Amino acid sequence: MLKTPSASLFRSHKLLKRVPSSCSAHQQTTTTTTRIMTTDASLPPSPAFPARPTGHLQKPMLASQRAADAAAESPDADPATKKPQGMAYFPLGYKEAVSQWWTSVSSRQAERDVLSFIPFLKEASTEAAQSLHELAKADPFGQRVWRSSMVQLAGKDRALNELSIQRVGEQADNTLVMLHGYGAGLGFFYKNFEPLTRLKGWQLYALDMLGMGNSARPTFKVTTTDPKEKIKEAEAWFVDSLEEWRLTRKIDKFTLMGHSLGGYLAVSYAIKYPGHLNKLILASPVGIPEDPWAVNDALPEPTASTMENEFTQDQESITRATEPTAPSLPPKKSTNAPAAPPKRPLPGWLVWLWDANVSPFSIVRLAGPLGPRFVSGWTSRRFNHLPPAEKDALHSYAYSLFRQRGSGEYALPYLLAPGAYARSPVINRIQDVGRQEGENGFPVVFMYGEHDWMDVAGGYAAEERIKKRIEKTLVEGTEEDRRREGGGAKVLIVRRAGHHLYLDNPGEFNEMVTREMEETAEEGRRRARLGL
């Protein structure tokens, strides 16, 4: 039985009355193209709206500064603090929100604005007059160039947005593929691209998952009525497109790194399409621990969750701590039942929305001119540890993605129950990763932030299961099985970081991933020498 949402859920509709009725929902038209680095920013502006500068660097004032001015001018502002009511939750003022909605850049331009903060790397455009060598000659870590393109897949409205980074004049013997989390996009990895491409012999790809980011957004639907088959269909919707992309790019084997939902789907890909991974890096993966409601109930309603931290956690207080805080970790012991994470109340209205398949992005779209204000409630806390220009660029990028037509976001209730517990927990199948027909195992790395709201105990439990599977092979397998055994598992903790560890402490995160890449390359050379 569905719960009735509280009246407070709909208070936001009163805010729309402040906006003239002539300001109807601003429609954004997206186009799919195969040209390298083609953006819809070059299209002429609609006659109904004023023209806007092409990038955040050309704005006369940062969005955060304009928001502060708007707050001070608000008639509802507190005389002492100059902050309007509700500013603690949604720091962007009404006036500034409408301004951002009215003049917002396209999602592709917003992505480029974020990528402009990547040092050294140069864009490799088909229209460039200079050679790739000339484009990258100033790079102190070797000549590197990046390309952005839409990779077409089979079927209607199916294409993946791709960023690739290549080391010029070098043979790429190894490939790293990066997958983002729920509702996000590849641009959030902007602090990782340059450091992770310093290694020789590697090529990097970052992908927007189908139905998210700047990838195509086909209609999502499931056709079966069987609960378990619904889960498989939802997973296949994403991982099938990843496999199509791999075949299109003619990549045999690669290292796959996924964050949050991307980590969950990386495990699903490894099981469904075996034989193509050298290593699996799971950065704060969702869905590892088992929860009885999520597994046994078609519409579970757990009463507690730690997912609230995703919306309330303040990154500045975490990333700028003067003294490293020891993470609250469970003892490493052989157990398949991880300790329960700290519980926090999950609002009844959120459970109702989840069960009704109403995504947070639906609210952003329905909010129309006040959409940027709602988004600021998340971006103000998520990015407040970053320089103002980067924080503003990420806010614009996030809003440009969140406001797009709903697609892949509607798969979430089939994969996760309220509170981010998986309906098909990873802990029950992690031992099968790298163990399909013809496989002899590969390393699986679990990474968590020191203050991660994801349960690190689930990572330790998964590590134990993988190691038990390796022990079984070494004890019961043939001599050839033991010689070919390549499995492994480890849990890494990134200090002064939360769930978005790749952005909270990119320096330490990049160092850890780089070491994993080095070990992967060395293991590949060793196995080649032995003929494995």
Cα–Cα nearest to 400, from 92, 146, 149, 185: 185
Catalytic residue status for 260: yes
Identify whether the C-beta of residue 284 lies closer than 8 Å to the C-beta of residue 263. yes
Residue 349 pLDDT exceeds 50:
yes
In this predicted structure, the answer to whether residue 284 has a pLDDT above a threshold of 90 is: yes
User: Could you tell me the end-to-end alpha-carbon distance of the chain, in angstroms, rounded to an integer?
Assistant: 56
**Most confident range, picked from 280-284, 288-292, 337-341:** 280-284
Q: Quick one: CA dihedral 161, 500, 496, 177, positive or negative?
A: negative
Is the pLDDT score of 266 beyond 80?
yes
Q: Measured in whole angstroms, how far is the alpha carbon of residue 436 from the centre of its chain?
A: 27
Mean pLDDT of the 90-117 span: 91
pLDDT higher than 60, residue 20:
no
Residue 532: the pLDDT is 86
Instruction: Give me the pLDDT at residue 106, please.
Output: 95
From 70-79, 210-219, 354-363, the region with the lowest mean pLDDT: 70-79
Between 143-152, 179-188, 359-368, the lowest mean confidence (pLDDT) is in 359-368
Q: State both tokens at 498.
A: 């939360």
DSSP 286-301: SS-S--HHHHH-SS--
Q: Three-class SS of residue 475? A: helix
318 vs 494: CA distance, rounded Å: 12
| Per-residue pLDDT tens digits for 294-345 | 555 553 333 333 344 444 556 676 666 655 444 444 444 444 444 444 444 4
Higher pLDDT, 315 or 496: 496
190 neighbors 387 (Cβ within 8 angstroms):
no
- Dig out the tokens for 26 from the structure: 């601003």
pLDDT of residue 251: 98
Q: Which of 113, 208, 452, 455 is catalytic?
A: 452
pLDDT in the model for residue 5:
39
Give the residue-averaged pLDDT of 374-391: 91
Task: Reply yes or no on whether the pLDDT at 461 is more than 90.
Answer: yes
pLDDT attached to residue 329: 44
The closest of 199, 229, 277 to 435, measured between CA atoms, is: 277
Question: Cα–Cα distance between 180 and 249 in angstroms, integer?
Answer: 19
Question: Does residue 378 register a pLDDT over 60?
Answer: yes
Q: How many CA atoms lie within 13 A of 203 on its CB side?
A: 19
What is the helix (H) or strand (E) element at residue 518, kind and residue range?
helix 506-530
- Is the per-residue pLDDT at 1 higher than 80? no
pLDDT digits 0-9 by tens, 198-242: 999 999 999 999 999 999 999 998 888 888 899 999 999 999 999
Closest CA to 466 of 295, 337, 336: 336
In this predicted structure, the answer to whether residue 84 has a pLDDT above a threshold of 60 is: no
H-assigned helices in 412-455: 412-415
pTM above 0.75, yes or no: yes
Residue with the larger pLDDT of the pair 331 and 527: 527
Which of 260, 305, 380, 424 is an active site residue? 260
Which residue in 106, 499, 500, 504 is the catalytic one? Answer: 499
Which is more confident, 275 or 532? Answer: 275
> CA-CA distances (angstroms) from residue 178 to 185, 186, 258, 411, 454?
10, 8, 6, 20, 19
Per-residue DSSP letters for 50-104? ----SSGGG-SS-HHHHHHHHHHH-TTB-TTT--BTTTTT--S-HHHHHHHHHHP
pLDDT at 34: 34
Dihedral sign from CA coordinates of 323, 324, 328, 334: negative
**Lookup result for tokens 């592709």:** 108
Give the pLDDT confidence score for residue 435 in this predicted structure. 95
Split at pLDDT 50, 70, 90, the class of 104 is confident
Check pLDDT > 60 for residue 414: yes
Q: What is the pLDDT averaged over residues 397-425?
A: 90
Amino acid symbol at 476: E
Active site residue 432: no
pLDDT at 174 over 60: yes
Helix (H, G, I), strand (E, B) or coil at 492: strand
More confident residue, 420 or 217: 217
CA Rg value for the chain: 23
Is 385 catalytic? The answer is no
Query: What rounded mean pLDDT belongs to the chain?
Result: 78
pLDDT(81) > 50: no
